[in-house]
Structure 1
Amino acid sequence: MIRLYRSGCTACEPVVAAPADWVMPPDTLWIDLIDPTLDEDRAVERALGLSIPTREEMSELEASSRLYREGGATYLTADILHNGDSEMPTIDPVTFVLTPGPLVTIRYFDPRPFTLFVDKLEREPALCASGVDMFLNLMEAIIDRASDVLGKTSHKVEAVGNHIFSEGKRVGFEHLVTKLGRAHIANARIEQSLSGLARVFAFVGVDDRMEHGEPREHLRSLARDATSLLGHNQAVAQGINFQLSAALGFINIEQSSIFKVFSIFSAVLMPPTLIGAIYGMNFDLMPELRWAAGYPMALVAMAVSAALPLLWFRRKGWI
């Protein structure tokens, strides 16, 4: 799908014409390609005289394939977070093309920053007067969303830490380790996204379109925000590693305590077991031998002796 944002409009307009017949309006500020077909790619290429990268090209990891200049345009591909409200947000590449005219974005998913940015444009139609303005304000929405996701991850890690180091019984560590593992995955994806954005800001910083003045200062502010968030993200990563080590340490301590209890019981019951094994059946006068209820009572005693330890282990939180 092709969406256009034109000067003086208050919303993005989907292109309803067939790609072969489409002509770009001269006042277009932003061309948003969402899961585009081959015909839609070619229509935009004809309109701008530029090549549009394919999905496979967008997924390449080499910096030279993600950040480059070609045909008077600057191509920037970065991994953008989405599904940020879930425990493990995902990332996918988005390509931004800075042209002498409109901004072009190519994406195959719908990240929340794009929706937030479009809503902001509807409230403030005069916010963007050029493709460069579109790019900078869209990047600001992406950075703000990354900050929100990082804040949620940080709060989750802090909550796990409070549970780990709280006084009283320490149970459910397996669940806590799972939470920390998911937080670690989320943390790694946030760092990957922010690192890519930082490279984008450094690369576009030497672009001729970022002339001195407000665009240059806006870009520098975005770069500082990305660097600050990377530092915060690394601090969260250190907290995750520390809490994971602490949780595993407490698990080992707890298991050692359990084995110590078992060892004590084994040592206490060893002498009676030894005496019973040697002398238990060596007496003539054993009334229970002719006791009619002896066998059923023995079965009941075995069941009770097996159930009581299980109940005690459950009460202790060992099972």
Structure 2
Amino acid sequence: MLNVFTLEAGKLKGRLVQDGDLADGSLQLPRPVWVDLEDPTEEEKDWIQARFGLVLPADIVDEDLEESARFYEEDNGELHMRSDFLIDADKGHDEQGSRSVRVAFILHENVLFSVHSEDLPVFRLLRLRARRIPALIEDAKDVLLKLYDADAEYSADALEGIYDSLEKVSQRVLKEAVNDVAAGEALTAIAREEDLNGRIRRNVMDTRRALSFLMRSRMLNAEQFEDARQILRDIDSLDSHTAFLFDKINFLMDATVGFININQNRIIKIFSVASVALLPPTLIASVYGMNFKFMPELEWELGYPFALGLMAFSVITPFLYFRRKGWL
């Protein structure tokens, strides 16, 4: 999918380019500021090369790139950046779960090219804002900065979602009786939020590296440089939130596991009490079952009632003692 964005009256206007438009060679577009490629085809790559003289590498969105190869500047002035953007499954009800998607940026002759494998909520958010807010974007570097700004905001919204989810888990674990089923559901929810929190922390770290690289490249004007610094300050404010959430997640995890241990200990205690209480009648039954010369049950008329009564007494007495001690 190929989207070409141009500036008209201070607003970002996009056009979806179909494969048929590329095939006949009649496509004529004004100079864009942003070309967004989602899972590009060979025809779209060939058109980019013919129209802009830019060759997209085959491994442009490869996940296995070395860290040193993610941010660099070519001799001809091309700026290459590869950043990870977050997808929060809870917001979009995505069945694949929360994940990070690698996006490749190339700043070539004042045109920003972005390549990614699937549509991203941050990109949709920027497109919506740029169509509604005049003068939000003036050039390709503004597009890149606004994407990182929207990414930081999206991460902050995801952190708020984690707060809400953990609050529900807290009410369920700390204010209600927790059985094994409820504890298992709580552990599942906590593990899911822990995974998302870790992804958010990794995402903001990656965004911080990308902004630092942009600031060191000296390609930003004074206003853009200040915008980048403000985004970095916003990202720094998220670190304390992620650290607090990690502590809260660990506390809820320990509390839930503790309730599971309590439930298991309660079951073990029942078996322990039962085994201790049933030991005396078992001893009495075994004694009365010995091969005496004169069996009490036969030689004594009250043998059986006495044996049964003694066994009942030996069972009741330990239970009364355990109850008095508070062990039941």
Aligning the two structures, in what range does the TM-score lie when normalised by the shorter sequence? 0.7 to 0.9
Matched, 1:15 2:23: no
Matched, 1:224 2:233: yes
What is the match of residue 218 of structure 2? 208
Structure 2 stretches of 5 or more lacking a match? 305-328
Structure 1 distance, partners of 2:84, 2:57, is 15
What is the match of residue 79 of structure 1? 84
Matched, 1:3 2:6: no
Change (3 A) 1:223 1:35: same
Answer whether contact 1:95 1:105 (CA < 8 A) is retained: yes
Residue type of the partner of 1:12?
Answer: G
Q: Decide which of 31, 51, 74 is 2:55's aligned counterpart.
A: 51
Residue type of the partner of 1:4?
Answer: V
Task: After TM superposition, give the deviation of residue 61 of structure 1 in Å.
Answer: 4.4
Residue type of the partner of 2:197?
Answer: N
Q: Decide which of 117, 124, 132 is 2:126's aligned counterpart.
A: 117
Residue type of the partner of 2:220?
Answer: M
Structure 2 distance, partners of 1:84, 1:233, is 18
Report the secondary structure of 1:91's partner residue.
Answer: strand
Structure 2 distance, partners of 1:23, 1:221, is 39
Q: Decide which of 62, 67, 73 is 1:63's aligned counterpart.
A: 67
Percent of aligned pairs sharing the same letter: 28
Task: After TM superposition, give the deviation of residue 121 of structure 1 in Å.
Answer: 1.8
Deviates more, 1:155-164 or 1:62-71: 155-164
Task: After TM superposition, give the deviation of residue 199 of structure 1 in Å.
Answer: 0.8
- For normalisation by structure 2, the TM-score amounts to 0.78
Answer whether contact 2:61 2:82 (CA < 8 A) is retained: no
- For normalisation by structure 1, the TM-score amounts to 0.80
What is the match of residue 325 of structure 2? none
Report the secondary structure of 1:96's partner residue.
Answer: strand
Instruction: Tell me how many residue pairs correspond in the alignment.
Output: 285
**Alignment of structure 1 residues 1-319 onto 2, 5 Å:** 1-8=1-8, 11-16=13-18, 17-18=21-22, 21=25, 25-55=29-59, 57-70=61-74, 71-85=76-90, 86=93, 88-166=97-175, 169-171=177-179, 172-212=182-222, 214-279=223-288, 283-284=297-298
Answer whether contact 1:99 1:131 (CA < 8 A) is retained: no
Structure 2 distance, partners of 1:235, 1:46, is 51
Structure 2 distance, partners of 1:22, 1:189, is 44
Structure 1 stretches of 5 or more lacking a match? 289-319
Report the secondary structure of 2:13's partner residue.
Answer: coil
Answer whether contact 1:58 1:77 (CA < 8 A) is retained: no
Deviates more, 1:37-46 or 1:194-203: 37-46
Answer whether contact 2:88 2:196 (CA < 8 A) is retained: no
Change (3 A) 1:248 1:186: same
Q: Whose Rg is larger?
A: 2
Structure 2 distance, partners of 1:61, 1:250, is 44
Report the secondary structure of 1:58's partner residue.
Answer: coil
Deviates more, 1:177-186 or 1:86-95: 86-95
CA RMSD of aligned residues (A): 2.6
